[in-house]
Amino acid sequence: MDKNCLFCKIVTGDIPSQKVYEDETVVAFRDIDPQAPEHILLIPRRHIPTTLDLAAAERELVGHIFLVAGQLARKLGFAEAGFRIVNNCNAAGGQLVWHLHFHLLAGRQMGWPPG
């Protein structure tokens, strides 16, 4: 827990959010500024700033996040139509919040290349 981190405060509930899933290691909640009809953020409870800060011991955690993303896609009804999972890392990657997160986007046709 980093006391200055927005997403750590969402994990603890100090900042409110629309949570759609949580377990011992992962929390998923709706993005405050959705870029698609469905826009969910999946985060580890533990404060890990970026993808580059992942340790080997966290490989299972990242795999778990992807399994949860697929479960949410099925549960929320957009699995068959399709979706996108995005991780922005550091400044040129477009990262704005320094707590590892994966965007789960769906509900419209995605473009390529991404912006």
Active-site residues, by number, are 101
Closer residue to ligand 5GP in complex, CB, 56/87: 87
> Does residue number 37 form part of the binding site for ligand 5GP (CB under 6 A)?
no
Q: Which does 5 bind (CB under 5 to 8 A by kind): ligand 5GP, Zn ion, none?
A: Zn ion
> Does residue number 22 form part of the binding site for ligand 5GP (CB under 6 A)?
no
Contacts 24+ apart (CB under 8 A), 10-19: 10/43, 11/43, 11/45
For residue 108, give both structure tokens. Answer: 């419209």
6-65 binders of Zn ion (CB under 5 A): 7-8, 47
CB of 38 to ligand 5GP, least distance (A): 13
Distance CA 37, CA 43 (A): 20
- For 57, the 3-state DSSP assignment is helix
CB of 65 to ligand 5GP, least distance (A): 14
Identify which of 14, 21, 75 has the alpha carbon closest to the alpha carbon of residue 44. 21
